[in-house]
Chain A
Amino acid sequence: MHNNPTDTGAAAPFDSVEHWTEVVRGCAANVGPAMGLPPCQVLATLKAPPAGLTGVAITLEGIKPHVLIGVLSNQVGRSAIARAVFQMAPDERPKPEDEADAVGELANVITGHVKAVMSRLDTTMRIGLPSAVSAEAFSARTDQITLRVSFGSVPAALVVTRL
């Protein structure tokens, strides 16, 4: 239990997965329009991303590994993200590598914003290299939260895993 003030008076610590998730939520809300996507809206909070999704995950680490931030989507979502990021025509079909690049860019920008917000936790914090991941890589665990989001009508999942 991280926080039940009625019982203990304790609160979610600054370094908890819940706090990191709140920061990711706030940063994702800001980066959508900057990347040609509609604003990000959180639809639900899950413990594990829905099966079948793929995307990109990036770590934030400094004096120690902090979090792994994953941006996942389905085929429709990845295509829509690529069209928005690369300013493609609505009927244009992106290549799979373009989709991966676009999702990676989205993950990179979100992670960059999160790093800026959380840098007071660790001034040596840096962004790791992006890696391709699937939902199956994120098994349900207590220090992980999945935000089911939509950028307008573009579906996606943001996975925050405390390392």
Chain B
Amino acid sequence: MATTAGSAERLQRAAGAWRLEFQQLVYNSPTLLRPRRFSVQGEQAILQQLRELSGHEPLVRDTERLFRGTLPDGTYIVRDGRWFPELLPDKLPEPQPEPQPEQVEATPGGQKVLEELARRMISLETSVQELQGQLERAIASLAAAAASGALAAAQVRQEHAATMAMPAVTAAMAGAATAPSSSHVAAPQPVAAAVAAPAPSAPARKSITLPAMSALTDLMRGLAGPDANLSPCERSDWGGLASAAPVFFAVIQDNAGDEAGSMIFDLEAALRLAGALLMESEEVIESLLEEKVMSDEMLDAASEVCNTLTSALNKVSGNPHLRAGKMQPFTDARAAQLAAASKRDDYRYNHGGRFTLVAC
């Protein structure tokens, strides 16, 4: 299995043992590379691996600094070539009175306080994203329930989502308005409790946030030229469309392999985007469209297009790292799953065809 140089992602210390997770591109078919996550354990092995990842020299020095220190078990993530503690919602520090700027600069721990503030901002952004997702899901379920006549049940869910969201918003705002006065404040705080507390009826895994149309359009233009454009369109009846012409979909998975969403393309969009990636002439695309043929090469290229579009999902703050699977023909089972999607965006591609982004 051939790989590329890769990038470090996470450093964990558990029971005194260190473990590094990093990502590399590996061949998953004779022609295509996909990101895959690896791990190594042990201080020397980690340092050796980091040295072999190109451009990680500052990270090697920071890793050595961590290894020299006496640190509690925890997880560190890469930010600007340095390791920072990963703050999960239940590990957010307790808010403290905000120090005056001159105090921050004057105290020896001023730098640490600033770093703590930066970390808190990242955590707060994540919290807001989660709250936004909860509200969107609640609104979507209410609309669906109203359409099916089950309004009463939906009201219960909506009320529950609102009660879950409102204290969290309030607490998050309170947390944002304060700042830690010291660099080590580890006690859980109301923000963490509000955000982390799962609702009894809420799904175990939060839905991903779909990217803005402008982000997708930018990728399309890189792929297919400056005149490529997307426009929102009415919901596509993919089950019905699949009975008339080939329809394809690719599953979007998180690092754990759980399905987080999917992309659905009609034949024309799939062929035109795959053709753009392979720089095929318009004549070739037109002839494939006439024959309604999706060759293996074009299917591979279309899968790669999905991978490219997935980068827009990965750029959405709060989304986990996602990757697209191989494109495959649309099935009835997929159509049934689509009905239960938490969110979907339907687009028309101005060069021809349509596609849909779906969040589970």
Contact = CB atoms under 8 A, between A and B. Distances in A.
A87 interface: no
B5 A12 contact: yes
B280 A50 contact: yes
B31 interface: yes
Interface in B27-75: 27, 30-33, 38-40, 45, 48-49, 52-54
Contact of B279 (A4, A18, A52, A142): A52
By size class, the interface of chain B is: 35 or more
Contacts of B5: 12, 18-19, 22
A163 interface: no
Interface string A33-52: 00000000101111110111
A152 B280 CA distance: 18
A5 B38 contact: yes
B30 A140 contact: yes
A53 B281 CA distance: 11
A77 interface: yes
B278 interface: yes
A76 B26 CA distance: 31
A157 B277 CA distance: 10
Contacts of A145: 33
B3 A4 contact: yes
A104 interface: no
Nearest to B228: A153
B226 interface: yes
Interface in A71-104: 73-74, 76-77
Contacts of B276: 155
B307 interface: yes
Given A5-B38, A45-B25, A153 B226 contact: yes
A2 B3 CA distance: 6
Contact of B222 (A50, A53, A74, A153): A153
A50 B295 CA distance: 14
27 contacts: A2-B3, A3-B2, A3-B3, A4-B3, A5-B39, A9-B45, A12-B4, A12-B24, A17-B2, A43-B277, A43-B304, A44-B277, A44-B308, A45-B25, A46-B32, A47-B27, A47-B32, A53-B279, A74-B279, A76-B225, A140-B30, A142-B2, A148-B278, A148-B304, A153-B221, A153-B222, A153-B226
Interface of A: 1-6, 9, 11-12, 17-19, 21-23, 41, 43-48, 50-53, 73-74, 76-77, 140, 142, 145, 148, 150, 152-153, 155, 157
